[in-house]
Structure 1
Amino acid sequence: MPMNKKDLKLSILDIGTKLQGNNVSQTLKDSTERIQLADELGYTRYWFAEHHNTANQVSTSPDLMIAHAATHIKRIRVGSGGIMLPNHSPLKVVENFSLLEALHPGKIDLGIGRAPGTDGLTAYALRRSREAVTTDDFPEQLNEMLSFFKRDFPSNHPFSQIIPVADVLVPELYMLGSSNGGVQFASNEGLGFVFASHLAPHLAIPVLLNYRSNFKASPFMSEPKSIVSVIVITAETEEEANYLAGPVELYWARLYTGDVHSPFPTLEEASKHVYSSNENLARTRNKDRFIIGSIETVAQKLRYLAKETMVDEVMIMEFYSDKTASQKAYRLLAKEFNLVTYKETFK
């Protein structure tokens, strides 16, 4: 069944990109302004990523970002995209998100990731031992976390007497994935599922369809709930959108040629950059990671992606190098998809 304008929900994923000329405080202030705008425009949710030891990203603690953001919104949901469980104690995650849910009932999402979100050395610094870095115990960690939420440890389990918080408080739970791995946990445990199509665009359709086909109802969700995330750069015209996409295209080309330390490019820098042969190759291979174009072009592609993946929500990864262009793009998308809750937004 084709998607129509009112069917498709839009959300935002913020990785805390620090633009050139900004310090961390300004980056966080911009995020706060962005979530307030998203709330006003009618976006469904706003998530914060977890990354460590990066020169350009400041979102190291999604739970802290959520706690701050939730005090500045009225309707929009806020959450993690995600909490990288290998870096954390399952009990502490449950405690933190139970308290967030108590503070902001019905507005908190907990997205869980399987990767550390960083390099090996930093992963070691985040965890308790070298063994914790080299051992894949994610299934055990996830089961432990879910059991703390459900209070269903067997009576002989050593954790059965531990009470994370006084009341059973459960945020909306999602599993993140960019391969065939995470989807199995989501469908088997009855969790929501978010697929990062910017990391593996060729897998988005089969993996998301697999999730829906194999979903098993649970105390957390009675039916499948899936989201596809994608990098979107849009503007009123194709020409403007392609210009605004210059920094993210250059940034990702550099990533795939081994340059992980350069700052996020400015519009001027990207427009003047002469691509090396390796960068050009990476740029070509990266094309499917982005949806770039006028609002009409982008809307058509987003509706097609949503239809093919059978999702009713698209999460847009924030990757603009200009704050004004970012705000304008979110307004254009909100208007195109009838998200706006207040007419005065476009006055």
Structure 2
Amino acid sequence: MTEPIIDPVRGEAHGRAPVPLSLLDLVSVGEGYTARDALEASRRLAELADTRGFLRYWVAEHHSMPGISSSSPSVILAHLAAHTSRLRLGSGGVMLPNHAPLVVAEQFGTLEALAPGRIDLGLGRAPGTDGATAAALRRGRGGQGGAEDFPAEVGELLHFLRDDFPERHPYGGIHAVPGPVQGVVGQPQVWLLGSSGFSARLAGQLGLPFAFAHHFAARNTLPALEEYRRHFRPSPALAEPYVVLGVFAFAGRSTEEAYRQALTGALATVRLRSGRPGLVPAPEVAAAHDFTEQEKAVLGDWLDNALYGTADEVTAGLDALQKRTGADELMLAMNSHTPEFRVRSYELIADAYALPTAPAPADGDGEREVREGSPL
């Protein structure tokens, strides 16, 4: 008898949203703010998402970037798990070449034990940093850890999570703990992330859900999604293809306010690509910057890939993007200067889509409700 296919990925769209909405957090640090300020804003954002019907909240992995404090997604996720009760939490993603698969399996097995049924493990094959930093992260791993090793390392990680290495495999006697060997029933939902056809094809072949970085690779979106859907094979993890699309979305009380905040993220990207990473510049600094012709090209691409304006303008753009791509879920991201703006922006989008408001758990309530088998 064939085992039923279990699909814990899908959620329901709420309000007027065409598909479920989720958030990707870069934990941006703006000029005049600290990493602590950025992490506090992340907590507030996660609590907002938890009570306003967003499906999941992912944290990116970046290193040696002063304007981004998300170098340790698993640590941040453990903190957010203690402040949320319904939201799926995950990595967007863990850059697997930087880590031994066993370590990742143990970290996310721990998260699954802390927040059962709510953990996503998104995996990427890029380093999330520059070459020198990548070499420092992979020190002592010999020839392992390159992007070319990614498919094999994904397979190894899956075996650790399931605790099902073949008996004579070199790792057959090694167990990722917490995990099945200790009676942990559930497993993190594994995703592949990508900005090209490589991870799209691999995700399809493995029967895993796929998250595409439209926010910085918009030209590749449609070809990569076609590649994923064409190569998809049903698996115990997923019955049908499932696509999450990452998109920059900045909603302000006015189009001008949203543009000013979007420009701060654009200038931060310009500086990063020219080898000058730093804190996200203040709106007045970004507005006064004299962009060179080369910088204007980067700026134009960045702004073309972003949605910014009033909440109605942004939601109209999101609706059009979903219709054009057939995405099963939209994951909103933002790299901007002001923490208060990020919180207010997502609240405006939630209001524009008439997302429901759920009561937050009472302070000090250690017994948080988790609906068995539900992604929410």
What TM-score, normalized by structure 2, do the two folds share? 0.85
- How far does residue 47 in structure 1 lie from its aligned partner after superposition? 0.8
Long gaps (5+) in structure 1:
none
Give the match for residue 108 of structure 2. Answer: 97
For each residue in 1:220-269, what CA deviation from the matched residue of structure 2 results, as whole angstroms up to 9, or x when unmatched?
Answer: 2222221000111122332332223221222223334x143232110111
Matches within 5 A, 1:124-203: 124-127=135-138, 128-129=140-141, 131-132=143-144, 136-164=148-176, 165=179, 166-167=182-183, 168-203=185-220
Give the match for residue 36 of structure 1. Answer: 47
CA contact (8 A) 2:250 2:309 kept: yes
Q: Which amino acid aligns with 2:330?
A: V
Higher relative contact order (CA 8 A, sep 6+): 2
Determine which structure has the larger helix proportion and give its number: 1
Give the match for residue 70 of structure 2. Answer: 59
Q: Distance in 2 between matches of 1:24 and 1:322?
A: 12
Secondary structure at the residue paired with 1:232?
Answer: strand
Most deviating of 312-321 and 127-136? 127-136
Q: Which amino acid aligns with 1:207?
A: A
- Runs of 4 or more above 6 Å deviation: none
Q: Distance in 2 between matches of 1:310 and 1:179?
A: 17
Q: Which amino acid aligns with 2:332?
A: I
Q: Distance in 1 between matches of 2:285 and 2:339?
A: 16
Give the match for residue 301 of structure 1. Answer: 317
Alignment partner of 1:334 is 2:346: no
- How far does residue 120 in structure 1 lie from its aligned partner after superposition? 1.8
- How far does residue 206 in structure 1 lie from its aligned partner after superposition? 2.3
Q: Distance in 2 between matches of 1:194 and 1:139?
A: 16
Q: Distance in 2 between matches of 1:116 and 1:277?
A: 29
Mark the CA change 1:134 to 1:89 in structure 2 (over 3 Å): closer, same or farther: closer
Give the match for residue 9 of structure 1. Answer: 20
- How far does residue 111 in structure 1 lie from its aligned partner after superposition? 0.3
Q: Distance in 1 between matches of 2:307 and 2:100?
A: 36
Mark the CA change 1:262 to 1:122 in structure 2 (over 3 Å): closer, same or farther: closer
Q: Distance in 1 between matches of 2:147 and 2:214?
A: 27
Q: Distance in 2 between matches of 1:92 and 1:63?
A: 11
Q: Which amino acid aligns with 2:16?
A: K
1:269 paired residue among 277, 285, 300? 285
For each residue in 1:261-290, what CA deviation from the matched residue of structure 2 results, as whole angstroms up to 9, or x when unmatched?
Answer: 232110111122222222223222333221
CA contact (8 A) 1:85 1:138 kept: yes
Q: Distance in 2 between matches of 1:39 and 1:101?
A: 17
Q: How many equivalent residue pairs?
A: 341
CA contact (8 A) 1:197 1:229 kept: yes
Q: Distance in 1 between matches of 2:280 and 2:64?
A: 15
Q: Which amino acid aligns with 1:325?
A: F
Q: Distance in 2 between matches of 1:135 and 1:314?
A: 26
Q: Distance in 2 between matches of 1:124 and 1:117?
A: 12
Q: Distance in 2 between matches of 1:244 and 1:117?
A: 23
CA contact (8 A) 2:47 2:84 kept: yes
Give the match for residue 230 of structure 1. Answer: 247
CA contact (8 A) 2:218 2:305 kept: yes
CA contact (8 A) 2:31 2:282 kept: yes
Q: Distance in 2 between matches of 1:335 and 1:135?
A: 41
2:37 paired residue among 8, 23, 26? 26
Q: Distance in 2 between matches of 1:247 and 1:131?
A: 38
For each residue in 1:296-346, what CA deviation from the matched residue of structure 2 results, as whole angstroms up to 9, or x when unmatched?
Answer: 2211111111122211311111223222222221111112223222499xx
Alignment partner of 1:120 is 2:137: no
Matches within 5 A, 1:245-264: 245-256=262-273, 258-264=274-280
Secondary structure at the residue paired with 1:314?
Answer: strand
Long gaps (5+) in structure 2:
1-13, 361-376
CA contact (8 A) 1:295 1:332 kept: yes
Q: Which amino acid aligns with 2:296?
A: N
CA contact (8 A) 2:26 2:69 kept: yes
Q: Distance in 1 between matches of 2:187 and 2:33?
A: 36
2:304 paired residue among 262, 271, 288? 288
Mark the CA change 1:96 to 1:268 in structure 2 (over 3 Å): closer, same or farther: same
Q: Distance in 2 between matches of 1:231 and 1:71?
A: 27
Secondary structure at the residue paired with 2:27?
Answer: coil
Q: Distance in 2 between matches of 1:201 and 1:136?
A: 24
What TM-score, normalized by structure 1, do the two folds share? 0.92
